[in-house]
Every structure is written in structure tokens, then in C-alpha cells.
Chain A
């Protein structure tokens, strides 16, 4: 096996990992603030991928342009989901929240199955076959653009939480629920806003992912698990951790696919998850709560 091949596989894994990272960022933000684990996260990811497929088929809209309407729609959807369904559950026990989101996930997967059937769908654009060459190194164009978009979206999110008043208010709600209420913040509205933002992250990640892989309805649960692995490895609630975890999992998947067997690639991720949970349960970049 030539070193060039290995380096190229690592690069592809790293770029895909950034898109994974953005998907997981959505989960991490939601958990970090609302303290609810979104068990329908991967299902939302596949819905975004299908949305990109539909927009492309109907309007020839490039997935990079589809990002905007899909993200806006997802923001609204996430806001309503939190405000309508999940807010009444924030004081309920974990298994109750889990069941609620599992029900939502079951409905999502099977609605997709009803509408689109079980066959794989994708988007075909001409730049998917092109790549940039840097000496012996190859960078797929689609992968480069997708990961750049993911990084851009993540940076925007960092800036939002750091510098805007709304972002700071959301962080206040996450840090101290009672304190935020005392100073007059409408915590439930900010929770809904957060779920909307997390959903918009998934929307962007989904539109990018459809450039890299085909989508089927059953991909949803697999993405949910992938997102869990990433955020636990990186640190639940830590934004930088989600990106780091995404890159780690992306690269480890790519290497495991190359050296062991493609079917064993997620075994590697789960082994990593178990190790992190046991020896650094707060995640690589997480803080101990």
C-alpha cells in the first residue's frame, strides 16, 4: 500500500469528518443548552439530504444554494418541535424524553420511506468528479467545498454564541437555568431558539453530505449513532469538541475502511467511544460538570 494512498484516504476522511463535525455540533449545542439528547438527530440529517435531492431534481438547485432555504426551514421546524413537543418534557425523566424523540424518529424514517421508497437517492453535479491535485495529493472538489462550508457554518455559530446578545443569553440559560429565569430571560423561548439553531446545523451538514454519499431512509439511525459517538468523544456540550470528534471519527473510519474492512469501520468508532467514556467521560475537550 503506497503512502500516497494512505495520505489521500486520511485527507478524504478529514474533510468528511468536518461535515460530520457540523452535524454533531447541532446535537452538542442542543444537549449543551436544553439537556435533552436528540435521538432523532440522524433522521433530521437524512430529511435535509432528501430536501437537497428534491430541490436539485425539481429546480436544478445546487446543494450549495439549497443550504439556505433548507436551513431556514429546519430552523423553523426545530423551533416548533422544541416549543410544541419537547419543552413540556424538559422536567421529565430521561427515559421519557428518550421515548418522545424515538417516536419522532420512527415517524420521520417512515414518512421518508412512504414518500421516497427504500431506494438510494443522490445528487449528481459535474464538480463531484473533479479534484485538485497538489503533487501526489488529491483533494475531491465536492469534499473540499463541503468541508469549507461546514467550517464556515461552525465559525458563524461560534461567533453567534460569543458575540451576540442572543447567543450570550442562550449560554446563560445553559449555565444556570434558575439564574437565567431570575434575570428575566424567557428560558423556554431560548430553548426553542437553540433547537432551531441545532436543526439548522444539521440542515447545512445534510445538504453537504448529499454531495458525498447516497441517501436512504434507514441511514437516519446510523447517523444518529454516529453523531452520538462524535459528541461523546469530543465532549457533549463542547462546540470545539464536536468538530474535533468529527475529524477523528472521519479519519478513523477512512483508515479502518482501508486497512481492515469497510464493514468494520464503525466498530472502530464504537471502540473509541467506549474508551473515551471509560477514561475521559467528559470527552476530549469537555469540562467536568
Chain B
């Protein structure tokens, strides 16, 4: 990272820290959502962007993480800071199982992607039949007084959720920056570019790919826990749905796969875009269902077509930041 990047990052951090002081609750909710997708996208990016393993089933980890922490809180009153470890353990076990099966049997590329979808869908339908977690009717957490700050149970005003999510996003950013400079980061990128060549150089590709899946699923589990306590309601149909996985992927793909700042920028651009479309359509008085998503799809199409590496890499070059992907 050069000096200019460090300064810009510091300015951004200060702005984000001060945001709740000036923003109204609507802006704050949008900002929290951006940070959520930035964080989840960063987690997905570890697997795809760094190690080149395309997962289209990350909703699995969001869902399992969310249900684990919410279930413990709902039934036994165990707080999220304890539940988070159960969530992480479960997701790591799941990710490791999927990774082990796939990589041992030599499944890669499109087949690996479809395997991840299959596990997510399988789990979605399975959770519909778990009555202990509410089944298809959903699991609801009690919404406590929004003014009282209760960080131990993740109950509190919107600003608290914003700061928690900001801390998570910053931590994920730092972790990924460190990973990229570590031995794992170099091995991952070698595997991403040419797995056979990496193997020929003596890299144990199985082991490092497993590490990527484990890190990514653990990070995503935390996103799930946050999701459960922020929204307070969980439905298998929503949280495990493939559209949730796609939402997570959109940020890094639009921002720039494999870059550090791409997932953050992509999440911001997409969330603001979706909200802007809603606002414009509301102002024009258009109330046909689906119009918003069609616009969204068209923008997505245009970005994917004309910016094959995402928005961030060309922007970073213009700003003279030179982040490598």
C-alpha cells in the first residue's frame, strides 16, 4: 500500500466513524446494509478472489451461522458473543466437509460451483422441516427497546449495529490485507492462476484450498450472526435462497474480484444504486412490481460487459493507488 492509499483509507475511516453523528436513521440503515455486503463479499472474495474457488452457495454459511446463534438465544438465552463461536464452528465444519469432498474427488470449476449451490439448496429445504428452529414459519427474536444499549446481547439502537458492522468490515479488510501478504496469500494466488503449476512447485494445493474455504466460511458465519440479530427474523426460504448467495457475490464481482477494496466499493455502488432506482421510480409514481429489478439487471449487465475486472481496478489506477489484484 502506498502513502496515498493509506491517507485515503484513513480519511474514509474517519468519515465512516463520524457518519452516525450526522446521518438520519434511513442513511444509517443503508450504510449498515452496505457494510454488511462489503463484509460478506470480502469473505466470499477469500475463496474466489484469492484462491480461485467459485462458491455460489455462500448463503449456506450466512443461514447456518444466523440460525445457530439465533436458536441458542431463542431457546436458552445464550448471547450472540457466545453463540458466534458455535456458529463459526458449525460453518467451518460444513465448509471443511464440502471442501474435503470436492477437493479430494477432484471437483473444480463449474462443478464445484454447482456443488456449493446443491448444499445450500439441500440445507434450505432441510431447515424447512426443522420445527425446533421454526420451520418454514420462521424464527423470530424478541425486538427489545431500541434505545437501550445492550451490546452483550446485540440489542440496541441502529447506531450500535452500524458500529458493530463497521468494526467487522474493518477487521475483515485488515485480515484480508494480512492474508494477501502472508504465505497463504501467495500460495492461493498461485493456485488461482494455475493449479497444476502450483502443484508442480510443491504447493500442497489441497491444504491451501481447504484453508481458503475454512477462512471464508468462518467469516461468513459471523455475517450470519449479525444478520440474525439485526433483522430479528429468519426464514429458510429467504436466508438460504440462491438469490442471497448472488447478492453476496455481486459486490466483489462489480467492485473487482480478488482486490481488497473491490468488495467494499461494489457493495456501496450496488446498494446505493438499488436505493436510487427505488427513489426515482417512487418520484415518478411508477408502481409496477419488477421495474426496479429490471433496471438493476440492466446496470449489472452493462457493468459486467464493459468493466470485465470490476469498477475498482481501473479506478485505483486513475487514483494512482495501484492495488494489485
Residues of A within 8 A of B (CB): 37, 85, 88, 92, 94-96, 98-100, 102-107, 109-114, 117-118, 217, 221, 225, 228-229, 232, 236, 261, 263-264, 266-267, 270-271, 273-274, 277-279, 281
Contacts and interface: CB of A to CB of B under 8 A. Distances in A.
Contacts of A267: 122, 125-126
Contacts of B102: 277
A228 B117 CA distance: 10
B308 A96 contact: yes
B289 A117 contact: yes
Main secondary structure of the interface of A (DSSP, over half): helix
Nearest to B125: A267
Interface stretch (B149-157, B202-210, B296-304): B296-304
30 contacts: A37-B110, A96-B253, A98-B113, A99-B253, A100-B304, A100-B305, A102-B300, A103-B298, A104-B301, A106-B293, A106-B296, A106-B297, A107-B297, A109-B290, A110-B294, A114-B290, A114-B291, A114-B294, A225-B242, A236-B111, A264-B125, A267-B122, A270-B118, A270-B121, A274-B122, A277-B107, A278-B105, A278-B107, A281-B107, A281-B111
Contacts of B113: 94, 98
A81 to B, nearest CB: 12
B115 interface: yes
Nearest to A274: B118
B129 to A, nearest CB: 7
B219 to A, nearest CB: 19
Nearest to A104: B301
Interface residues of B, number: 46
B293 A274 contact: no
B129 A95 contact: no
A99 B125 contact: no
A261 to B, nearest CB: 8
Contacts of B315: none
Interface in B27-75: 48, 54, 56
B290 A277 contact: no
A225 B115 CA distance: 11
Contacts of A92: 308
Contacts of A221: 242-243
Among B136, B288, B290, the most chain A Cβ lie within 10 Å of the Cβ of: B290
Contact of A99 (B106, B111, B128, B300): B300
B305 A111 contact: no
Contacts of A113: 289-290, 293
B291 A228 contact: no
Given A102-B246, A232-B114, A264-B125, 16 more contacts: A88-B305, A96-B308, A98-B113, A99-B304, A100-B305, A106-B293, A106-B300, A107-B297, A113-B289, A113-B293, A221-B243, A236-B111, A267-B125, A277-B102, A277-B107, A281-B107
Nearest to A116: B290
Contacts of A217: 290
Contacts of B301: 85, 100, 103-104, 107
Given A117-B289, A274-B115, A111 B242 contact: no
Contacts of A88: 305
A234 B296 CA distance: 35
Interface in B278-299: 288-294, 296-298
Contact of B290 (A95, A103, A111, A278): A111
B130 interface: no
A281 B106 contact: yes
A266 B120 CA distance: 12
Nearest to B288: A114
Contacts of A117: 289
Contacts of B242: 221, 225
Given A228-B114, A274-B118, A95 B48 contact: yes
Contacts of A261: 129
Most chain A CB neighbours (cut-off 10 Å) among B125, B136, B249, B308: B125
A112 B246 CA distance: 20
A232 B112 CA distance: 11
Interface string B84-125: 000000000000000001100111011101110111011001
B212 interface: no
A98 B106 contact: no
A95 B289 contact: no
A281 B105 contact: yes
A277 B118 contact: yes
A266 B240 CA distance: 14
A266 B246 contact: no
B122 A107 contact: no
Contacts of A274: 115, 118-119, 122
Contacts of B56: 98
Nearest to B252: A95
A229 B118 contact: yes
